[in-house]
Amino acid sequence: MSTGIIGKTPTRPTSGNEHEVSKVQKECKNQLPGYAGFIAGIFSGVAKLAVGHPFDTIKVRLQTAEAGRFNGAFDCVRKTISNEGFRALYKGASPPLVGWMVMDSVMLGSLHNYRRCVKDYMYPHESKLTLTGHCIAGMLAGWTVSFVAAPIENIKARLQIQYDAKTKLYTGPIDCAAKLVQQNGIAGLYKGLFSTMIFRSNFVFWWGSYEVFTQAFKKHTQLSNPAINFWAGGLSASVFWITAYPSDVVKQYIMTDSVTSPKYQSWWSACKAVYQTKGWGGYWRGFTPSFIRSFPANAAALAAFEAVLRTFH
């Protein structure tokens, strides 16, 4: 009589193939769904905006203001609040409010899936994704999110440099978007796409260093996972801004340039203009608020992202 269905199954040696099947099934069970990163990225965007937007406003103003308008980051903060009120620090926040949610959802969601693809197709025999794999996935995620980030950052930057009624060209983000399209079609919204992709290519350093910091904290400290995410997120974002900042300045020059009568015909012409008008220091103008912002904003964002991912387990 057969005993394989009801009752105790006879003991027999387990083949190597069954071990492999069991291993694959275990990996699949522990693997997060592809949409998890996109959902977690939304929460990351909200956290990043709440903490980081005032720093970003000061950064953009310092990057693009004419010489002599501000004596530094603290002077810019003082004059902004004194002349326009505290809410001026959140000028241009409406696009990022939605924009950071969308951008971080696309960036972190695509990063999550690129990591899986790179691991499966480039490093199938490794037990985990290599550091090089993390760098490749980071760069691909940077290029992907550029197509979402360019129009959002374009509108944000133009709103942030409206100082008073004389410089006010747009009543809000919708009016800004409409006028850009009216003036130059959809290309008006995507002005600065190439410079955005150059800037976000530096995600190689962000996500590579994030993996290095994460593994170092796991190996050498007793920190909890949320604490590791917080510190690794903040430190890796600082690494990113050190490497990427000059290209961000060039990007802002292009994005705040006239749509109808542009000064800069290419990324390289804008790059040269920074040096010609402000010297080597021009590539680092506004770095202090950006660098100060990078740690708390991104530490909070990545802690939120990883916390939501853990709920999917």
What's the CATH code of the domain at 216? 1.50.40.10
Give pLDDT, residue 96.
Answer: 67
Tens digits of per-residue pLDDT, 165-200? 777 889 988 999 999 999 989 999 999 999 999 999
User: Does residue 160 form part of some domain?
Assistant: yes
User: Does residue 199 form part of some domain?
Assistant: yes
Give pLDDT, residue 22.
Answer: 47
User: Does residue 87 form part of some domain?
Assistant: yes
User: Does residue 11 form part of some domain?
Assistant: no
User: Does residue 4 form part of some domain?
Assistant: no
Instruction: Residue 284: give the domain boundaries.
Output: 33-311
Tens digits of per-residue pLDDT, 219-275? 999 999 999 999 999 999 999 999 999 999 999 999 999 888 889 989 999 999 999
Give pLDDT, residue 26.
Answer: 45
Tens digits of per-residue pLDDT, 250-265? 999 999 998 888 899 8
User: Does residue 183 form part of some domain?
Assistant: yes
* pLDDT < 70 positions in the chain: 1-31, 95-96, 313
The alpha carbon dihedral of 111, 117, 118, 119 has a sign of positive
Give pLDDT, residue 20.
Answer: 46
Give pLDDT, residue 7.
Answer: 41
User: Does residue 16 form part of some domain?
Assistant: no
User: Does residue 27 form part of some domain?
Assistant: no
Mention every residue, 6+ apart, whose C-beta is less than 8 A from residue 257: 191, 263, 264, 270
Mention every residue, 6+ apart, whose C-beta is less than 8 A from residue 276: none
SS (H, E, C) 88-123: HHHCCCHHHHHHHHHHHHHHHHHHHHHHHHHHHHHC
DSSP state of 165: T
Across all residues in the chain, what is the average pLDDT?
85
Global pTM reads 0.76
Number of domains in the chain: 1
Give pLDDT, residue 12.
Answer: 47
| H runs (alpha helix) in the chain | 16-30, 36-64, 73-84, 94-122, 131-160, 173-184, 186-189, 193-200, 203-220, 225-255, 267-278, 287-311
